[in-house]
Amino acid sequence: MDGLYLIVSTERALELVPQALAGGIDCIQLRHKGPLTRAVVALAEELLQLCGAVPLIVNDRVDLARAVGAAGVHLGQTDLPLAEARALLGPHAILGATASTLEEALRAEAEGASYVGFGHIFPTSTKVKSTPPVGLAALREVCRRLHIPVVAIGGIHRDNIAAVWATGVAAVAVASAIGDALDPCAETRRLKCSAI
């Protein structure tokens, strides 16, 4: 789990994923709200084909991940517990866990997460948040304390990403930075280049 990680909704996946892949995206997380229709299953299968060697991770829905053979799932604090997801997906699945404090991050690691998505780092408009942003100092601390990869998430875009890479994160996750870009392919490339 390293590099640039795109979070994309089922509504926009077919439009954005090919462009992000062309720009060199390293991981895709597919988010779906609402019931699992056969159309969503078909979409996930199509994305899996498009992604090739790039891991496709499904948000929350372990059943969708297992049905299509996705690389793994990303689990929030109100999703299935890591142990249940591991039991359903097997030892090789990538299990990501959301954490917004060091304690949650350490617990996720202890419970068998493959990586921790830590944030939100900056204010973000993608999701309504009840807590303030965690900031870069907390991110640096989490990166220092964890042995598994840390993926920074929340409010990261071209103007602040360099400071995020500098904390030692394994990966940076974005949604609107690519989704709202005029040229998602070029933006993917640009965000990745800022890592050097």
Partner 1 sequence: MIIPRVMRITDCLVSCDLPIQLRNRDADTRALLEMARALRAAPFLTINERIDIALAVGADGVHLPEWGMSSQLVKRLKASLLVGVSVHSLESGLRAQGEGADYLIFGPIFATPGKVPCGLGPLEQLVRQIKIPVIAVGGITRELAGECLAAGAYGVAGIRGMDGWTLPDR
Q: How far is the CB of 136 from partner 1 (least distance, A)?
A: 29
77 or 101: CB nearest partner 1: 77
What is the Cα–Cα distance from 82 to 75, expressed in whole angstroms?
Answer: 8
43 or 151: CB nearest partner 1: 43
Contacts of 89 (CB under 8 A, 6+ apart): 62, 65, 66, 72, 73, 95
Q: How far is the CB of 22 from partner 1 (least distance, A)?
A: 30
Contacts of 148 (CB under 8 A, 6+ apart): 109, 113, 114, 115, 116
Helix (H) or strand (E) holding 164: helix 161-165
The DSSP letter of residue 131 is S
What is the Cα–Cα distance from 175 to 190, expressed in whole angstroms?
Answer: 15
Q: How far is the CB of 78 from partner 1 (least distance, A)?
A: 4
Q: How far is the CB of 148 from partner 1 (least distance, A)?
A: 22
Q: How far is the CB of 58 from partner 1 (least distance, A)?
A: 10
Q: Is the Cα torsion angle 63, 30, 21, 119 positive or negative in sign? A: negative
46 or 79: CB nearest partner 1: 79
34 or 52: CB nearest partner 1: 34
46 or 63: CB nearest partner 1: 63
Q: How far is the CB of 15 from partner 1 (least distance, A)?
A: 22
Per DSSP, what are the bridge partners of residue 4? Answer: 172
Query: What is the binding site for partner 1 (CB under 8 A)?
Result: 34-39, 41, 60-63, 66-67, 77-81, 84, 87-88
26 or 60: CB nearest partner 1: 60
C-beta separation of 6 from 22 below 8 A = no
